Chain A
Amino acid sequence: MAFPQPRPQVPQLPQHLLRTIECQQGAVRAVRFNADGNYVLTCGSDKSLKLWSVSRGTLLKTYTGHGYEVLDVDSSYDNSQLCSCSSDKTVILWDVASGQVTRKLRGHAGKVNCVQFNEEATVMLSGSIDGTVRCWDTRSRRYEPIQILDEARDGISSLKVSEHELLIGSVDGRVRLYDLRMGQLHVDFIGSPITCVCFSRDGQCTLSSSLDSTVRLLDKSSGEMLGEYSGHVNKGYKLDCCLSDKDTHVLSCSEDGHVYFWDLVEGSLTLKLPVGKAVVQSLSFHPTEPRLLTAMEGHVQVWGAEPEDAAVEDG
């Protein structure tokens, strides 16, 4: 006879500003946690990619090699490699420690919006404005992609990779889910251009934000809508959305300078976190802790659930 489980704690939201990092690399196009959440990667519009420590907010390394502004970055599970994509139509695989370019992959016809490693960092997937997703092999020396997914009819804005699935959002208003195991492609029609897609942490749902200022939670297997979240402003920018660390909340950037927190189940607005006056361009949620990164203009802010009682290390 087991005792009933203790009532789960009320999830804490990262609403306290812990740190502001002035990145000094132009506008920050994207901010990402690394795989374990100890480091921050920022993509600058000055062609540079920077690696920071979250705890101290210090710059650890700058990666230069792109020919134009960097648009997205992802780190491998073992933190040994980075992949980044840029407006210069290239995808670059970096060696983290040395900061050298391991591979520079050309093939996209337009700027590359998003890039992701797969789980074992054996494949890089990059989605470009040319409407294709290219799967690059990191193991071989081939400079041609393994496969090109050209089903999208417009530019690819966002993509995520799970164990055996690729979730790809396109400007043609469709979210495509490629199931490698089943050999199937599910196309969910949203209608409005997709800005960001992501999987839920349990892998059962997909989240997609679109330019009609709506974030939708869809059931992955059937495509039925589980929740719809609105209230924020997303009309022209490619803004990020994500789920909180325990899938309790849905987060989205907004063009009014806030980050919106909705309760996942109820769909009600839980928190409207004021970040600044400009557009919150990118955000990233810590994989395990209630910690949030937001990027606005040239700086990145780190938010935590509780204010740090240690010495404030702003700047």
Chain B
Amino acid sequence: NMASDEDSDEDFVTYGTPLEPLEEDEPIRKPVPVHEQTVKDEKGRYKRFHGAFTGGFSAGYFNTVGSQEGWTPSTFVSSRQQKAERQNARPEDFMDEEDFSEHGIAPREIVTTEDFASERKDQLKDKARAVSSLAALIPGDTGLLEELIAPARSSIGVELLRKMGWKDGQGVGPRLKRRQRKQNTDAVKVHGGALLPSGSEESEDEDDEFAPENVTFAPKDVVPVDFTPKVDSHGLGYRGLNPLQALGGGSESAHINLFTLQSDRTSSLFGDRNSGQKRRGGIAGQAFGVGAMENEDADIYHKDSMSNYDTVLGGEEPGDGLYGWTAPQQYTRKKNDSKRDVVYLGRILDGFTLASQVTEIKTVYPPPDLPRDYRPVHYFRPVVDLSTVSPIVAQALQASRGHLSQDAPQQGRHSLDSSQRRDMLGETPLQGPSSVFELLGSKDRERLNEIRSVAKEQNKSVLNLSSAEDRAAVVASSTAPQPDSLTSPAKTQASSETQMALNAWSGPTADASKTFKPFQKNPQKQARYDLYINKLKKGDKEALESSLDSSMTEWERGRERDEFVRAAVLYKPSNSSLSSRFTRSKNEDDTDSVEVTRDQENDVDDKQAAVKMKMFGKLTRDTFEWHPEKLLCKRFNVPDPYPGSSTVGMPKIKRDKYSVFNFLTITDSSHVSREGPSASKPPGSSTTLPHLTPEVNKKSRWDKTGKVSEPKDPLSAFLSETRSEVSVAKQIEAGAKNQTDSSHASEEKEEDEEEVRPPMDLFKAIFASSSDEKSSSSSEEDSEEEEVAPSTSEPIQISAETLNPPVSAQITPAPDISKVPGII
């Protein structure tokens, strides 16, 4: 685009489309990634690539040739009435539209026709061709003969010039006078140094003298510099083998050959003026001899002359004429006198001038003065391994060097215990009792022990906490104040922690080698801790006290005891926490969570023995409950042995020791009720199934919550509260009932589970937002509830006949339980 800015003084010529001006606030646009760059055709559709792009050749219009018909051959029809027109098929008829576009194989663009094409351009082309033909290995292969027989045709421009009086070989421009022209050529020479080939300048110059004053001449035809791109891989300036020299053995040879004309051209091309003039025409050379009537060529009979030899030793005299004379001192001292310097220096090289400023002298600083007692020998200090030396020495060493190694533990005064400090100071260990406990009388000691054991007993109920809660408790206790007396309430907590640590570590799976070492920085302490852990594993109840250092003070020991217990609980082995998920049958004290897995095989050793004794039968046979898939039964034409059961295969019992139900202290009746749907007894099932009857007699959880000293969750606490309220209400309304309200616990003992439950209204009031929203599971419950307690005005019956099954059983009715009358 050509555009001239009118506002500014200068005229700019811009080319191409300008970039959009950047705005400051504009976010920088991300470049479109390659995979999102799409190619669209001129109508904006996605372009389908053909051929190599798609991995196969397909062409044109849906893989046809651009028309729906495809390669339908045109038929030649010609009749008398309708003569077929002669059809000249052009190449364009078989080409696609894309081929005519800018990047096609035959781009259509507006070009000046040959008539109007400039001559100069043609010349350039010719020259390039000539040069390339020279550089080519086979000379003259660019169609020289074609050029020779080319038709004489000149462009419009040439015709016009001719009409205006221009002749071939002349330059274009106003005619000049001789003098002027000469000046011009001089100027050219001075200006560039770049040699412009200018025809036969010399010969014209000779004629110059005869030129009259009033005659003007046409300007010289200037051949522009040929900017032929270098496409070969030759070195710069290398022209390859010159065929003329190769064939003729030298430029001087007057070989007759076909390329004489070309050689003329090339010489003019490269501005070789001399050769053109010195060349002789015709046949020449030794091979042809010298005719009788001809003069001898000087070249032929070689005459040696003295002028070919150097007669002076040392070559030409130098141009300065000084003959190696060096200037005396005073010339060099005089500064700022360039002429003198020039005189001194002799001559200045071409293209160089003397510097106007003298270069600065670099200042050199002398080395420092060495002290008198300096010995140029380096002395290496011996390296001492700190671990091998006693700490005092090591510390002294470190201090003497002035740098403490960063790896050494920065042990503050308080992080050391007394024994460590003692070691550091080099003191002897103290004699006598180290513990306050030892100073006490035997009675006092017993008393303290009693108190301790009582505290332990109290905390046994806490032991059923889950491991997560354990940790929470431990973390909480870590923020609690340090226990300093045995009787403080915090101490009871600590003892419970001790018990927890014992529980955690006494498992058989605990592996000492893989346990975390929390006191690694203090090896003595770690050793004590390891001892403690080992004792824990053996189940030693006094593990903690016995593993502590007796020489430490009571306060230090107390602190360490605390740390050890906490570390033992926190870093207890992971597999022990895993094993806590499985019930151990040997554990007698928590009866409600222990249950022998039903489908465990009996001891293999017994069976081996039985097999050896060939006592097959009961000893070697195990019978399990197995649930076939319903479809399998169908395919086998067998009724499903467990209709309504969703389990498939062996019923798997996951008895989580620390489940939510355990927190609510559910008794076995709830276990039965949970198993009820899945394991309704098949006819004739074996005796390995759990016995249901004895467990039914046990109390429900509602009974038990009253006895538990502290309710663990707010729900149960709330329930017990409401229960007491209800019982009070009952007392008022059911006067016939002679129940004592002295304690609701004793009352609950007598009552059934159902009796204890608050009326449904209360639950509704609490849990249900609207009365019509009833879950399907509780709907049955509700209806039965209303039978029993339709309103609070009626007395609640307690007789066994109208009793409903316990709540837990009600949710999933099990026939065995419902039959049993509700007794204590």
Binding site for B on A (CB under 8 A): 118-120, 122-123, 135, 137, 139, 146-151, 163-164, 178-191, 216, 218-219, 222-225, 228
Contact = CB atoms under 8 A, between A and B. Distances in A.
B621 A184 contact: no
Contact of A180 (B601, B628, B648): B628
Contacts of B627: 183
Nearest to B622: A187
Nearest to A187: B622
Contacts of A146: 629, 631-632, 635
Contacts of B604: 189
Contacts of A224: 616-617
Contacts of B181: none
A179 B633 CA distance: 10
Interface in B589-646: 601, 604, 607-608, 610-611, 614, 616-618, 620-629, 631-633, 635-639, 641-642
Contacts of B610: 189
B641 A183 contact: yes
Given A178-B628, A222-B617, A186 B639 contact: no
Contacts of A139: 635
B626 A178 contact: yes
Overall SS of chain B's interface: loop
B426 interface: no
Interface string B643-685: 0000011100000000000000000000000000000001011
Nearest to B648: A147
Nearest to A162: B636
B271 to A, nearest CB: 84
A189 B620 CA distance: 5
Contact of A186 (B608, B622, B635, B642): B622
Given A183-B642, A184-B624, A191-B608, A118 B635 contact: yes
A33 to B, nearest CB: 23
A166 to B, nearest CB: 9
Contacts of B682: 182-183
B797 interface: no
Interface of B: 601, 604, 607-608, 610-611, 614, 616-618, 620-629, 631-633, 635-639, 641-642, 648-650, 682, 684-686
Contact of B616 (A120, A150, A164, A188): A188
A191 B614 CA distance: 11
The 4 closest A-B pairs by CB, nearest first: A183-B641, A223-B621, A225-B616, A185-B626
Given A180-B628, A224-B616, A185 B650 contact: yes
A139 B608 CA distance: 42
Nearest to B601: A187
A216 B617 CA distance: 12
A184 B632 contact: no
Contacts, number: 111
Contact of A191 (B611, B617, B650, B686): B611
Contacts of A137: 631, 635
B431 to A, nearest CB: 65
Contacts of B686: 184
B637 A184 contact: no
A184 B623 contact: yes
A223 B617 contact: yes
Nearest to A224: B617
A149 to B, nearest CB: 7
B679 to A, nearest CB: 10
A163 B638 CA distance: 9
A183 B635 contact: no
Contact of B624 (A118, A187, A188): A187
B635 A184 contact: no
Nearest to B634: A122
B262 to A, nearest CB: 78
A146 B630 CA distance: 9
B625 A218 contact: no
A183 B620 contact: no
Nearest to A163: B636
B638 A149 contact: no
Contacts of A123: 632, 635-636
Which of B617, B628, B650 gathers the greatest number of chain A CB atoms within 10 Å?
B628
A223 B636 contact: no
A281 B637 CA distance: 34
A188 B631 CA distance: 26
A219 B617 CA distance: 8
B649 A149 contact: yes
Contacts of B624: 184-187
A218 B618 CA distance: 12
A207 to B, nearest CB: 13
Contacts of B622: 186-187, 189
Contact of B633 (A149, A180, A225): A180
B636 A147 contact: no
A184 B623 CA distance: 7
Nearest to A181: B638
B613 to A, nearest CB: 11
Contact of B618 (A135, A150, A183, A223): A223
B621 A187 contact: yes
A184 B636 CA distance: 15
A311 B618 CA distance: 55
A225 B618 CA distance: 11
Nearest to B612: A191
Contact of B625 (A135, A149, A183, A219): A183
B635 A122 contact: yes
Given A151-B650, A180-B641, A182-B641, A188 B636 contact: no
A57 B614 CA distance: 44
Given A123-B636, A180-B641, 18 more contacts: A122-B636, A147-B628, A147-B648, A147-B649, A151-B626, A151-B650, A179-B626, A180-B636, A181-B641, A182-B685, A183-B626, A184-B626, A184-B686, A185-B650, A186-B622, A191-B608, A223-B621, A224-B617
Given A185-B650, A188-B616, A218-B616, A180 B632 contact: yes
7 contacts: A146-B631, A184-B641, A187-B622, A187-B623, A189-B620, A190-B611, A222-B618
A180 B623 contact: no
Contacts of B629: 135, 146-147
A118 B635 CA distance: 9
B684 to A, nearest CB: 7
Contacts of A218: 616
A190 B648 CA distance: 26
B637 A186 contact: no
A224 B616 CA distance: 5
A21 B624 CA distance: 45
B641 A188 contact: no
Nearest to B599: A185
A191 B616 contact: no
Contacts of B614: 225, 228
Contacts of A183: 625-628, 641-642, 682
A26 B633 CA distance: 39
A139 B637 CA distance: 14
Contact of A185 (B607, B611, B623): B623
A52 B632 CA distance: 32
Contacts of B617: 219, 222-225
A93 B293 CA distance: 118
Contact of B636 (A148, A164, A191, A216): A164
B621 A189 contact: yes
Contacts of A184: 623-626, 641, 685-686
Contacts of A228: 614
A118 B605 CA distance: 35
A213 to B, nearest CB: 14
A150 B601 CA distance: 15
A135 B639 CA distance: 17
B628 to A, nearest CB: 5
A147 B632 CA distance: 7
B680 to A, nearest CB: 11
B623 A164 contact: no
